[in-house]
Chain A
Amino acid sequence: MSDTLLALSGVHTHIGRYHILHGVDLVAPQGRTTMLLGRNGAGKTTTLRTIMGLWRASQGSIHFDGAAIEGLATPDIAQAGIAYVPETMAIFSDLTVRENLVLAARGGPPDEKRLEWIFGFFPALRKFWLSRAGTLSGGQKQMLSIARAIVEERKLILIDEPTKGLSPAIVVALIDCLKEIKRAGATVLLVEQNFRVAQEVGDLVCVMESGRVVHHGAMADLAADEMLQRRLLGLSLDSHQ
């Protein structure tokens, strides 16, 4: 595909003696939000960490923006234009909200206009600008974690289960935030367990099972096909909505 920003081909990852990814093939087109779904242990987080170079691919290739990145160190991958929001959020709790964002803005002090854009959907970050990040609530920490990924323009944003453990009200607002990021033209690869979130923000979907991508296509098609959802995800929609 000509508009492909990220492409994984036959990626295998071993962690210690465990073989986690068994030949992942995945494509994330430019300007679209690709959802990565699957049951627990399917290899979604490992896929994101392998893309970031936090775990090494033992086989296969990863191309980003036309260049192979599978052998690069994590800082080089980040500098190539990929931002990462881990499942654990990994905010620096001893640093203030401001310091977290200053650190994330590699190119210099954070741009005022971009900060205002972020404050538009994350007002708590303005309110607690000089507070230690460790004192924020879980939802506020997630806001900070996402804000860190978008404080500067990045070509691709990898987000791992941003709604995990958050209250429904915050999830609704996070969906709006993700849509806003999409409107701004960012390419997003989003791991999500919450199917409703996936439905609302996803353009495309890849479903993983046992370390492989077993389905890929349009999110709308999966959302419309309950049988397919049950088969791929074991979803009972009543319990997930």
Chain B
Amino acid sequence: MTAIDAGTALPRQKTDFWPILLPLAMAAIAWPFIGAFSTWLTLTLAGLAMGMMIFAMASGLTLVFGLMDVLNFGHGAFISVGAYLAMVAFTPLAAFTQADSLSINLLALVPAMLLAMATSAAVGYVFERLLVRPVYGQHLKQILITMGGLIVAEQTLYALFGPQIIPLSLPTALRGSLEFGGAAVEKYRLLAVVVGLIVFLCLQFMLNRTKIGLLIRAGVENKEMVEALGYRIRRLFIGVFMAGSALAGLGGMMWALYREQVHASMGGEMMVLTFIVIIIGGLGSVGGCFIGSALVALLVNYAGFLVPKIALVSNILLMVAVLLWRPRGLYPLSSR
């Protein structure tokens, strides 16, 4: 038997650090303009907290697009559902949320998170079966039908809970601030950073260390071959769609607590930001989505402080700059 020559060494695989350095560079550049270290630290931590919440909302959207090639403009519905579920779950748990102890507060917060995720996942299942499945591979129809789905979801929430903005109080122990280096950092924002990091690490572990993750990464590249290997990609689609919806629900709940209010259109309002984030990160890339979320949120906070007039357009400018540098986003998938 002739053994095929093992061949010459492959080109060394380079790790692309530039995108990772961007948030650090942005923070470093902003510091001298902001001046006071304490203000800079407050803004930076606020930006990171906001970024982690946006990441939770957007990570599901990027996975759904990457694997299923579905442009889901209805993703905001799951964000709103998550927000309302926070309110629903907190009502019977008021004794826990109003206690002074953090651990007792968490006894209310964790079940509320799980409820928000489970309900959003269930809504995602129905959404996929009824609206998305008939339009696989048809982008224009996907946009129209998922936007329609978002409107129906919003109106249903209005019908169920009323049109008014509903105030939502933070659990007692999460109100107020802690002081770090002279900077006041809201306790809830620290929790948001922790939750966002946990979500990111769990996603990274799942994608890189489990067979389900391998299947998702392979499915993003070549669905047909995954099926030819004997795996049912449709089941994977549903699983990923539900997981993406659950993450949006979690993000929506975190966002509602951050804003201390709930209304049905809050998910729709976040859609522009989530799309900017996944475009900056590279469609389908979880790592890119993480960096994109941090960049967008940091910029909003810095711009809001330094040049409030351009804060509203700062995300668009950032997206344009990133796409001029890397037209397929920070971490494009090789298959797209």
Contacts and interface: CB of A to CB of B under 8 A. Distances in A.
A133 B221 CA distance: 12
Interface stretch (B169-177, B209-217, B303-311): B209-217
Nearest to A172: B2
B334 interface: yes
Contacts of A95: 214, 217-218, 221
Contact of A121 (B3, B215, B228, B230): B3
Nearest to B4: A173
A126 B11 CA distance: 16
Given A92-B222, A99-B214, A180-B1, A124 B7 contact: yes
Tier of interface size on chain B: 20 to 34
Interface string A127-163: 1100110111101100100001000000000000000
Interface in A32-57: 52, 54
Given A90-B222, A93-B221, A95-B214, A137 B227 contact: no
A235 interface: no
Helix, strand, loop or mixed for chain A's interface?
A: helix
Interface in B1-16: 1-7, 10-11, 13
B214 A176 contact: no
A123 B3 contact: yes
A111 interface: no
Given A132-B13, A174-B4, A78 B225 contact: no
Interface stretch (A23-31, A61-69, A102-110, A193-201): A102-110
A169 interface: yes
A-B pairs, top 5 by smallest CB distance, nearest first, are: A78-B230, A173-B4, A90-B225, A74-B227, A123-B6
27 contacts: A54-B227, A86-B225, A92-B218, A92-B221, A94-B217, A95-B214, A95-B217, A99-B214, A103-B215, A106-B229, A120-B1, A120-B3, A122-B4, A123-B5, A124-B5, A124-B6, A126-B6, A128-B10, A131-B10, A132-B13, A137-B7, A140-B7, A143-B4, A170-B4, A176-B1, A176-B2, A179-B1
Nearest to A143: B4
Tier of interface size on chain A: 35 or more
A135 B228 CA distance: 23
Interface string B6-29: 110011010000000000000000
Interface string A170-199: 101110110110000000000000000000
Nearest to B222: A90
B158 interface: no
B211 A102 contact: yes
**Max chain A CB contacts within 10 Å: which of B10, B211, B218, B225?**
B225
Contacts of A236: none
Nearest to B219: A92
**Max chain A CB contacts within 10 Å: which of B7, B215, B231?**
B7
Contacts of B3: 120-123, 173
B229 A136 contact: no
